[in-house]
C-alpha cells in the first residue's frame, strides 16, 4: 500500500495565524458575495457563451474534417486534385475576366537576415518597380511587407516618393494587408498581430496616404480565424489565403467553395463576415497559379526563359511570345485559365504572377510584362474567345467580382457560402504536416511573449506618465526620446511575427539577428518602464529630474546575451532601507507573491506606509543540491493596483520573527551528492522515497511521486474524489526513411517512448507558508511545480516551470504528457492567438502528427464534470492523443533539413524555460448537447490565470546610490475597477504629425471584451471586479486625468467610426475588440 505523506503548505500553526490575519487585512474583497462570479450581472453576461439561435454556417471546418477521407488519390496533372473539363461555349454569354496579379514575396528574414535581403534584393525590386511601372499604365503590382517598404522609403529621393504616391493613387500599385510583416498565424499572439498591423497601417497613412482594402497571405503555414476578424475590424473587405491542407483545397475546389464569407464561430449574425479567396493549388509560384497543370503554367513564367538562372523542372521551357506563336501560346494559357475558373463561382479569375523575391532586375520586369501584354492583346482581340485579360491588383480582382455579382465591397455576394473555423493543421503533400513549427525554437517563442508583455506595459505606462507630466506642465523635463525606443520595439516585435521568425524556421544566423533585436528592445522597454515609473511614483513631482546616466530605478533582471535566460537582480541590503517599485501591468488588481533576491537572510518587508507584509524566506538554488551563497529569495505577498505601481520597503532586520521561514527536504536517489545548505533555511536530506508528496492550500491539494517528483493528482477542496493528473516526459524520434522531421515538419517514428534518463532525479520539496513547491532534476529537464497559499487567482492553479536542455539529443523531441480520468474522448480545445478557443477532434484517419495544433496560450480537455486547462506562457505544439490526455512538445532537436527551402536542421537549441499553469475546474451546468457545438470559451478564472502567467509583475529596486526619497507614493491610475471581462489590450501613444520620433497628444486605447463560459464553478475567486454587460464609463476611468476627446475608430485607426460624441460611456459586445482615439491630460 502506498502511504501518502501530506505536507500542508501552512505547516506550522504559528505562521498560519500570522498569515491568515494578514489575509483578512489584504483580502477584503473576496468575502463580498456580490463580487462572486455567481452574483451581480453575471447571469446576463453568461448568456453569450450559451449561444443564441444564429444561423449555422454552410461550411464548418470541424465538420469538414470529419467528412473528408484524406485519401490522397492521384489527380493526374493536378496531382492533388482532379481532372477539370469544360464546354467551349460556357463563356459565350458572359466572358471570362482574367486578372493577372504580379507580386513578389519578400520574407523579412529567412535564409538571409532582414537587412541582407533588403540590400541584396528588396531595394532593387522596389527601385525597378518604380521605373518599370511608369513605362505602361496598364501594369500592376502589389506589395505587402511594410517593414521592407518603409526601410526603402527612408532611402529614396523625394522625386521617387512622389512617383510611388502617383502609382498608388492611380491604382497601379496596391498595398495589400499593409502589416509590418505577413505574420505567422499559429504562434503569434493577437496583441502582436494587431500591433504590427497598426504599425504598418499608421506608416502607410502617414507616408503614402493610403488605406489597404484587401488582405494577402500566401505563405503562412496554416490560417487562423483571428486574422479575418482583425482584417474585418480594420475595414478590409476581402482577403486571400494559400497554404491550406491539400485535401481541403481539393474538396472546396470540387464544390466551388474556394471563395466564401469567413465568419467567426461566435458571431450569430454576419457582422464579422469577410470575403475570402482560397488559392486552389500547391503553391503561390507561377507553375501553380495559372491553372491545374504546372508543366504548362511554368511555360508562362518568363523569368525561366532559356539562358536564365532558373528553368522549369517539368522540362518544357517557356518561349518568348512572338507574332508567330502568340495564337498557340494564348490558347494554351486560356485553357488553363478556363479550367481554373471552373473551380470558382464567378466568371472573374485571379491569376497571381510571382514568387519569392521576384522582379529584382529590370530584365525580369520586361520579360514578364511584355510577354504577358502580348498574350492579353491577342486574347482581347479575339471576340470568339470570350475572354478579357489584363494585369490587375488584388482589389481590382475583388472589385470586378463584386461588380459582377452586383454587390458593394463588404457585402455577402449572393450564392457564396459562409464558413467558420480555421485552417490548421497544414499539410502540403502526403503526410507532411507542418506541425513541428508550433514548437521549433521555443526559446525565442518564450522571449517573444516576454517582449510583448514588456511592450504593452511600457506603452501603457509611458502614455500615463506623459499625460500626467503634460498636465503638470512637466513635459519638458520628461525623456520624450523614449518614444523613439518604443517605436523601435514595436517594429522589432512586429518583425518577429513574420512567418519565418516566431515560427523558428529561419537559418541559425537569422535567428540570432532576431534574438539580438528582441533583446535590444527588451532592454529599451525596461528603461521606458523605469523612466515612467520614476515620474509616477514621485510624491512631489517638482523634484523630478531625469538623469539618463543614473536611472532612478534599476531593472528586475538582466540577460547577458540574446540566447541566455534572465538573471535576476540581487538587492543589496544596507542600514538604510531599500525601496522597491512593483509594476502590475494587468488592468485588474492582483494579490500576488512578488519575489526579490536579497544578499542577507535578515530582512523585513514593509508596505509604503510602514506596515509589515507577510514574506517567506527561501534559499536560492544553483543546482539540485547546491545553494547560491549569500543570495536569498524573499517572497512577499502584496496587493498590486491595476496598471499601478506599488512601493515596498526592504529593511535589514535581525528580528527573527519578521520573516516566515521555509524548509527543504531533499530526496537523493542512491548516489551521494554533496549538499550545500544555507542558514537559516533548514534542509533535510532523505533517501528516495516511495511515499507520495502532497502540497495543499485552502483550494486544492496536489500530490506527486516522491521518486519521480512529477505531478500525479489534484484534489479540489471539499471534494471526495481526487483527479488523476499523471505527468510524464516522453520522447519522439524521427523516421529512418528519407523524409524526416525538421524545422517545419513533424514526422515522428511512431508513438512517443517514455523518457529514460541515465539517473533518477533529485527531488527537492520546499515547504513554506506563502508557497510550497516540488522540484525534480532530470538530465534534460528540471521541473518546478509550485502551489501558492494565497487567496484568489494565484492559489487556484499550479504553477509549472520546465527548464529544458536537450542540446545533446539527436533527432528527438521532448514531450510532457498529462493523463487524467477526464472522459474527453476525441475532443480537445486549443486557443487561436490567445484570442479565441477552437475545438479540435482527434482524427484517427490521420497520422499522429496531423493531430497536433498550435497552443499560443492554452489548451483544455473536459467532460461533463471537469475541465483541465494547461495555460502556457509561450507558443508550443499540443495534442490529445487519447481520451483524458493532454500533451505538449517542449523542445525539438533535429539534425536535418525537411526540404522546404531552409537547408538546415534545427540544432541551435538553448536552455529554455517553458512556463505553464494547470487549472482544474469543476463544471456545473455542462451538457453533452452544449459540448457538441463547435465553440467554447474559457472561464473568467481561466482568462485571468492566463493573464497572470503571461504578464508578470515587474520588480524595480530604487537604485542604491539614490538617497531614499521621503515621498514615494504608490500609483493607482484607475479610479474604478474595470469589468472583469474587459482587457486593455493597449494604450498606444500615437506619432507626432511632424516628427515621427516624438509622441503626439493622442493615444489609441484598444479594448477587448472577453467571451467567457459561466458553467464552471467559481467560488472565492478573489476578483475585485464584476461584469457590466459590456458597459464602461471611460470618462472617469483614469484617475487624475481628463479624457479630452474620444473617437471610436477602426481597429488600426484608419477610419473614424461615427462622429465623436460627447458621451464617454462605451459599449462592447463579447469577443469584440475596439479602438478609440483618445486625448488624455
Q: CA 942 to CA 870: how far, in whole Å? A: 10
145 contributes a contact to Zn ion by CB under 5 A: no
Grid coordinates given for 514: 532576431
C-alpha dihedral sign at 8, 13, 15, 20: positive
840 Cβ contact list (under 8 Å, min separation 6):
62, 827, 828, 829, 830, 851, 853, 880
Q: Tell me if 919 sits within 8 A of 857, measured CB to CB.
A: no
In angstroms, give the least distance from the CB of 405 to Zn ion: 32
C-alpha dihedral sign at 202, 206, 211, 212: negative
Q: CA 748 to CA 849: how far, in whole Å? A: 7
What part of residues 915-934 is at the interface with Zn ion (CB under 5 A)?
A: none
Looking at the Cβ atoms of 219 and 301, the one nearer to Zn ion is 219
Ordered strands of the 59-60 beta sheet: 59-60, 418-420, 259-263, 274-278, 238-241, 214-217
In angstroms, give the least distance from the CB of 60 to Zn ion: 29
Binding-residue total with Zn ion (CB under 5 A): 2
Task: Give how far the C-alpha of residue 660 lies from the chain's centroid of Cα atoms, to the nearest Å.
Answer: 38
For the window 681-720, what string marks contact with Zn ion as x by the rule CB under 5 A?
----------------------------------------
What part of residues 511-530 is at the interface with Zn ion (CB under 5 A)?
A: none
Q: Which of 219, 273, 428, 981 binds Zn ion (CB under 5 A)?
A: 219
556 — phi, psi (to 5°)?
-75, -30
Is 698 exposed, middle or buried, given 0-12, 13-18 or 19+ CB atoms closer than 10 A? middle
Looking at the Cβ atoms of 219 and 589, the one nearer to Zn ion is 219
Alpha helices, DSSP H, located in 750-839: none
In angstroms, give the least distance from the CB of 182 to Zn ion: 7
Stretch that binds Zn ion, among 219-227, 311-319, 839-847, 1051-1059 (CB under 5 A): 219-227
Looking at the Cβ atoms of 218 and 253, the one nearer to Zn ion is 218
Q: What value, to the nearest 5°, has the Cα angle with vertex 493 and ends 487 and 494?
A: 85
Length of the chain (residues): 1081
**Per residue in 347-384, is it b (16+ CB within 10 Å) or e — as a string?**
bbbbbbbbbbbbbbeeebbebbbebbbbbbebbbeeee
Residue closest to Zn ion (Cβ): 219
Q: CA 536 to CA 970: how far, in whole Å? A: 8
In angstroms, give the least distance from the CB of 430 to Zn ion: 22
Q: Which residues pair with 713 in a beta bridge?
A: 703, 724
In angstroms, give the least distance from the CB of 1060 to Zn ion: 40
Catalytic-residue membership of 219: yes
C-alpha dihedral sign at 773, 774, 776, 781: negative
Grid coordinates given for 617: 524566506
In angstroms, give the least distance from the CB of 445 to Zn ion: 18
Q: CA 205 to CA 201: how far, in whole Å? A: 6
Three-class DSSP category at 1078 = strand
Stretch that binds Zn ion, among 32-40, 166-174, 217-225, 828-836 (CB under 5 A): 217-225
Q: What is the CA radius of gyration of the chain?
A: 30
Looking at the Cβ atoms of 176 and 647, the one nearer to Zn ion is 176
**HSE-up (13 A, CA, CB side) for residue 771:** 27
Looking at the Cβ atoms of 219 and 908, the one nearer to Zn ion is 219
Closest CA to 211 of 1070, 1069, 1056: 1056
How does DSSP classify residue 91? T
Looking at the Cβ atoms of 184 and 1072, the one nearer to Zn ion is 184
Whole-angstrom CA distances from 904 to 211, 358, 893, 908 are 39, 23, 12, 10
Closest CA to 799 of 631, 950, 1004, 967: 950
Grid coordinates given for 1060: 465623436
Looking at the Cβ atoms of 243 and 913, the one nearer to Zn ion is 243
Q: What share of the chain is helix, strand, coil (3-state, %, to 5)?
A: 25, 30, 45
For the window 744-783, what string marks contact with Zn ion as x by the rule CB under 5 A?
----------------------------------------
In angstroms, give the least distance from the CB of 372 to Zn ion: 24
Q: Tell me if 356 sits within 8 A of 125, measured CB to CB.
A: no
In angstroms, give the least distance from the CB of 108 to Zn ion: 9
For the window 84-123, what string marks contact with Zn ion as x by the rule CB under 5 A?
-----------------------x----------------
Q: CA 252 to CA 81: how far, in whole Å? A: 10
**HSE-up (13 A, CA, CB side) for residue 129:** 31
Parallel, antiparallel, or unpaired for β 418-420 and 259-263?
parallel
In angstroms, give the least distance from the CB of 106 to Zn ion: 8
Instruction: Give the H/E segment covering residue 15.
Output: helix 13-26
Looking at the Cβ atoms of 219 and 556, the one nearer to Zn ion is 219
What residue has cell string 505553464? 916
Stretch that binds Zn ion, among 66-74, 214-222, 227-235, 993-1001 (CB under 5 A): 214-222
In angstroms, give the least distance from the CB of 105 to Zn ion: 6
Q: What is the DSSP string of 946-979?
A: HHHHHS--EEEEBPTTSPPPS-B--B--BSSPPP
Looking at the Cβ atoms of 48 and 223, the one nearer to Zn ion is 223
In angstroms, give the least distance from the CB of 412 to Zn ion: 31
Stretch that binds Zn ion, among 211-219, 286-294, 761-769, 955-963 (CB under 5 A): 211-219
Looking at the Cβ atoms of 426 and 667, the one nearer to Zn ion is 426
Among the listed residues 219, 335, 396, 448, the single catalytic one is 219
In angstroms, give the least distance from the CB of 901 to Zn ion: 9
Q: CA 277 to CA 272: how far, in whole Å? A: 16
C-alpha dihedral sign at 16, 19, 24, 27: negative
What part of residues 176-195 is at the interface with Zn ion (CB under 5 A)?
A: none
In angstroms, give the least distance from the CB of 243 to Zn ion: 10
The residues binding Zn ion (CB under 5 A) are 107, 219
Catalytic residues, by residue number, are 219
Amino acid at each position: 500500500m502506498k502511504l501518502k505523506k501530506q505536507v500542508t503548505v501552512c505547516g506550522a500553526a504559528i505562521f498560519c495565524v500570522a498569515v491568515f490575519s494578514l489575509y483578512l487585512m489584504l483580502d477584503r474583497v473576496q468575502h463580498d458575495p456580490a463580487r462572486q462570479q455567481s452574483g451581480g450581472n453575471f447571469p446576463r453576461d453568461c448568456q453569450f457563451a450559451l449561444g443564441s439561435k444564429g444561423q449555422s454556417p454552410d461550411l464548418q471546418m470541424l465538420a469538414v474534417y470529419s467528412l473528408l477521407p484524406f485519401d490522397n488519390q492521384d489527380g493526374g496533372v493536378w496531382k492533388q486534385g482532379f481532372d477539370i473539363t469544360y464546354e467551349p461555349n460556357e463563356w459565350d454569354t458572359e466572358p471570362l475576366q482574367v486578372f493577372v496579379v504580379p507580386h513578389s514575396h519578400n520574407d523579412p528574414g529567412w535564409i538571409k537576415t532582414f537587412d541582407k535581403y533588403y540590400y541584396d534584393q528588396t531595394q532593387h525590386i522596389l527601385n525597378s518597380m518604380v521605373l518599370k511601372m511608369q513605362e505602361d499604365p496598364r501594369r500592376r503590382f502589389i506589395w505587402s511587407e511594410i517593414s521592407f517598404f518603409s526601410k526603402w522609403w527612408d532611402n529614396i529621393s523625394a522625386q521617387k516618393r512622389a512617383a510611388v504616391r502617383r502609382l498608388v493613387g492611380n491604382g497601379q500599385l496596391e498595398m495589400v494587408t499593409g502589416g509590418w510583416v505577413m505574420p505567422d498565424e499559429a504562434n503569434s499572439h493577437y496583441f502582436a498581430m494587431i500591433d504590427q498591423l497598426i504599425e504598418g497601417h499608421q506608416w502607410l497613412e502617414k507616408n503614402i496616404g493610403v488605406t489597404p482594402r484587401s488582405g494577402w497571405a500566401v505563405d503562412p503555414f496554416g490560417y487562423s480565424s483571428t486574422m479575418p476578424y482583425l482584417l474585418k475590424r480594420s475595414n478590409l473587405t476581402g482577403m486571400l489565403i494559400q497554404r491550406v491542407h491539400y485535401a481541403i483545397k481539393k474538396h472546396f475546389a470540387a464544390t466551388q467553395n474556394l471563395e466564401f464569407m469567413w465568419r467567426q464561430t461566435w458571431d450569430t449574425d454576419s457582422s464579422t463576415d469577410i470575403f475570402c479567396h482560397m488559392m486552389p493549388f500547391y503553391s503561390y509560384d507561377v507553375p501553380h497559379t495559372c491553372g491545374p497543370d504546372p508543366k504548362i503554367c511554368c511555360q508562362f513564367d518568363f523569368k525561366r526563359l532559356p539562358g536564365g538562372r532558373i528553368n522549369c523542372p517539368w522540362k518544357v521551357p517557356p518561349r518568348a511570345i512572338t507574332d508567330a506563336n502568340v495564337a498557340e501560346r494564348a490558347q494554351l494559357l486560356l485553357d488553363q485559365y478556363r479550367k481554373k475558373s471552373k473551380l470558382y463561382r464567378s466568371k472573374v479569375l485571379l491569376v497571381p504572377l510571382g514568387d519569392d523575391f521576384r522582379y529584382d532586375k529590370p530584365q525580369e520586369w520586361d520579360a514578364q510584362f511584355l510577354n504577358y501584354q502580348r498574350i492579353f492583346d491577342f486574347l482581347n482581340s479575339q471576340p470568339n474567345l470570350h475572354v478579357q485579360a489584363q494585369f490587375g491588383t488584388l482589389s481590382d480582382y475583388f472589385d470586378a467580382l463584386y461588380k459582377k455579382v452586383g454587390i458593394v465591397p463588404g457585402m455577402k455576394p449572393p450564392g457564396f457560402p459562409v464558413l467558420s473555423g480555421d485552417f490548421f493543421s497544414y499539410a502540403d503533400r502526403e503526410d507532411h504536416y507542418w506541425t513541428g513549427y508550433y514548437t521549433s525554437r521555443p526559446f525565442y517563442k518564450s522571449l517573444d511573449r516576454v517582449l510583448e508583455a514588456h511592450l504593452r506595459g511600457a506603452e501603457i505606462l509611458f502614455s500615463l506618465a506623459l499625460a500626467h507630466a503634460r498636465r503638470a506642465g512637466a513635459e519638458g523635463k520628461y525623456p520624450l526620446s523614449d518614444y523613439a525606443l518604443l517605436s523601435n520595439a514595436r517594429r522589432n516585435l512586429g518583425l518577429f511575427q513574420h512567418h519565418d521568425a516566431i515560427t523558428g524556421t529561419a537559418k541559425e544566423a537569422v535567428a540570432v539577428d532576431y534574438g539580438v533585436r528582441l533583446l535590444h528592445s527588451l532592454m529599451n522597454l525596461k528603461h521606458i518602464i523605469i523612466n515612467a515609473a520614476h515620474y509616477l511614483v514621485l510624491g512631489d513631482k517638482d523634484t523630478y529630474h531625469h538623469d539618463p546616466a543614473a536611472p532612478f530605478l534599476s531593472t528586475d533582471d538582466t540577460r547577458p546575451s540574446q540566447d541566455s535566460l534572465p538573471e535576476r537582480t540581487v538587492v543589496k541590503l544596507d542600514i538604510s532601507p531599500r525601496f522597491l517599485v512593483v509594476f502590475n501591468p494587468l488592468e485588474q488588481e492582483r494579490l500576488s507573491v512578488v519575489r526579490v533576491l536579497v544578499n542577507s537572510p535578515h530582512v523585513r518587508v514593509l508596505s509604503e506606509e510602514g506596515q509589515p507584509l507577510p514574506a517567506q524566506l527561501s534559499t536560492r538554488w544553483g543546482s539540485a543540491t547546491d545553494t547560491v551563497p549569500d543570495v536569498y529569495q524573499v517572497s512577499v505577498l502584496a496587493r498590486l493596483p491595476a496598471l499601478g505601481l506599488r512601493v515596498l520597503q526592504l529593511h535589514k532586520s535581525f528580528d527573527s520573527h519578521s520573516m516566515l521561514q521555509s524548509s527543504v527536504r531533499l530526496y537523493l536517489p542512491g548516489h551521494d551528492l554533496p549538499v550545500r545548505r544555507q542558514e537559516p533555511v533548514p534542509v533535510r536530506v532523505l533517501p528516495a522515497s516511495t511515499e507520495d508528496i502532497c502540497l495543499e492550500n485552502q483550494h486544492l491539494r496536489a500530490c506527486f511521486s516522491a521518486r519521480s517528483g512529477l505531478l500525479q493528482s489534484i484534489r479540489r477542496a471539499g471534494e471526495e474524489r481526487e483527479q488523476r493528473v499523471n505527468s510524464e516526459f516522453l520522447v519522439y524520434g524521427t523516421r529512418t526513411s528519407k523524409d524526416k522531421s525538421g524545422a517545419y515538419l513533424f514526422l515522428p517514428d511512431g508513438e512517443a517512448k517514455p523518457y529514460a534518463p541515465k539517473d533518477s532525479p533529485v527531488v527537492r520539496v520546499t515547504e513554506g507558508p506563502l508557497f510550497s513547491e516540488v522540484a525534480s532534476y532530470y538530465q534534460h529537464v528540471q521541473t518546478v511545480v509550485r502551489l501558492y497559499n494565497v487567496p484568489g487567482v494565484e492559489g487556484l492553479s499550479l504553477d509549472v516551470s520546465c527548464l529544458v536542455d536537450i542540446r545533446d539529443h539527436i533527432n528527438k523531441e521532448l514531450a510532457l504528457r498529462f493523463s487524467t480520468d477526464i472522459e474527453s474522448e476525441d475532443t480537445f480545445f486549443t486557443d487561436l492567438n490567445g484570442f479565441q478557443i477552437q475545438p479540435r477532434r482527434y482524427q484517427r484517419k490521420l497520422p499522429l502528427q496531423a493531430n497536433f495544433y498550435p497552443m499560443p496560450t492554452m489548451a483544455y480537455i473536459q467532460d461533463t464534470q471537469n475541465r483541465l486547462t494547461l495555460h502556457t506562457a509561450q507558443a508550443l505544439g499540443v495534442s490529445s492523443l487519447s481520451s483524458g490526455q493532454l500533451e505538449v512538445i517542449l523542445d525539438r532537436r533535429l539534425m536535418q533539413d525537411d526540404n522546404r527551402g531552409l537547408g538546415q536542421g534545427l540544432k541551435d537549441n538553448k536552455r529554455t524555460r517553458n512556463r505553464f499553469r494547470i487549472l482544474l475546474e469543476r463544471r456545473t451546468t455542462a451538457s453533452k448537447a452544449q459540448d457538441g457545438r463547435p465553440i467554447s470559451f474559457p472561464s473568467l478564472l481561466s482568462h485571468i490565470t492566463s493573464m497572470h502567467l503571461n504578464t508578470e509583475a515587474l520588480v524595480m529596486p530604487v537604485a542604491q546610490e539614490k538617497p531614499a526619497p521621503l515621498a514615494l507614493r504608490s500609483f493607482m491610475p484607475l479610479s474604478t475597477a474595470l469589468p472583469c471581462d474587459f482587457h486593455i489590450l493597449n494604450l498606444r501613444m500615437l506619432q507626432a504629425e511632424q516628427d515621427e520620433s516624438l509622441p503626439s497628444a493622442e493615444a489609441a486605447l484598444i479594448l477587448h471584451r472577453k467571451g467567457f463560459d459561466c458553467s464552471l464553478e467559481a467560488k472565492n475567486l478573489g476578483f475585485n471586479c464584476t461584469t457590466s454587460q459590456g458597459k464602461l464609463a471611460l470618462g472617469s476611468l483614469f484617475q487624475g486625468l481628463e479624457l479630452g476627446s474620444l473617437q471610436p475608430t477602426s481597429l488600426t485607426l484608419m477610419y473614424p467610426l461615427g462622429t465623436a460624441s460627447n458621451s464617454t460611456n462605451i459599449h462592447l459586445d463579447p469577443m469584440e475588440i475596439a479602438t478609440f482615439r483618445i486625448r488624455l491630460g
